[in-house]
Structure 1
Amino acid sequence: MADKPVLSDPITLRVPIDILEDIEKIAEASERSRSWVIVRALKYYMINEGSDILDIRKGLEDIEAGRVHDAEEVFAELERLSRDDAA
C-alpha cells in the first residue's frame, strides 16, 4: 500500500463558478472529493507547464551562478566526438 502524502494546512482558493461546477460534477461522477479533483488537476499542470517553468527558473539560476558552458566549446567537442565515432 502506498504511503499517504504529507498535506499542507488548508488553503483558500477562489475559482470561477463554471469551473467549480465542473469540478463538482467530476467529483460526483468519480465518487471523489473536490479536493481530490483539484489536486489531480494541479499534478497534471505541474507535470506539464509547471515543469517547464521550473526548468527555465533552474536554468536562469545556473546562469546567475556561472554554471554554464560556452556554446562554441560544446559544438567543437560534439564535432570531435562525431569524427572519433566515424573513424
Structure 2
Amino acid sequence: MAASATVTIRLDAEVSEKLGRIARETGRSRSRLAAQAVAVFVDRELQVVDGIRRGLADMKAGRVVPHEEVMAEGRAIIAAAKDRQNRRRG
C-alpha cells in the first residue's frame, strides 16, 4: 500500500452531513470518501494547470491561430451542420 499523509480539512455542516450520508449508505468511511474526492479533484486541477502551461508555451513559441480564423471555422462548421439538418428535414 502506498504511503499516506494525514490532512485536516474544515467542511461546512451541509457538506459534512452529505458526506456522512454517503458513508452510511455505502458502508465506506468518511475518510476514504474524502480521500477519493480529493484525489479526483487534484487530478482534474493538475490537468487544468498542465493545459494552461502547454498553452502558454505554445503562445511563447508562436504556435497560435488568430481569433478571427478560429471564429470563421466555427461559423462554417455550424452552418454546414444546419445545412445537413435542413436537408434531412426537407
Corresponding residue number in structure 1 for 2:63: 71
CA RMSD of aligned residues (A): 2.5
Q: Tell me the TM-score normalized by structure 2.
A: 0.53
Q: Which runs of 5+ in 1 are unaligned?
A: 73-87
Does residue 1:6 correspond to 2:17, yes or no?
A: no
User: Which has more helix, going by share of residues?
Assistant: 2
- State, as a whole percentage, how many aligned pairs show the same letter: 18
Describe how 1:30-49 pairs up with structure 2 within 5 A. Answer: 30-48=26-44
Q: Match for 2:4: what amino acid?
A: L
Question: Structure 2: 5+ residue runs without aligned partners?
Answer: 65-90
* C-alpha distance in 1 between matches for 2:48 and 2:14: 27
After TM superposition, the runs of 4+ consecutive aligned structure 1 residues lying more than 2 A away are: 51-54, 56-60, 68-72
Whichever residue aligns with residue 54 of structure 1, its letter is V
Q: For residues 45-81 of structure 1, what are the alpha-carbon distances to aligned partners after superposition, in whole Å with 9 as ceiling and x for unaligned? A: 1232x12333146448x85xxxx53327xxxxxxxxx
Amino acid in structure 1 at the alignment position of 2:63? A
* TM-score, length of structure 1 as denominator length: 0.55
Q: Secondary structure at the match of 1:14?
A: coil
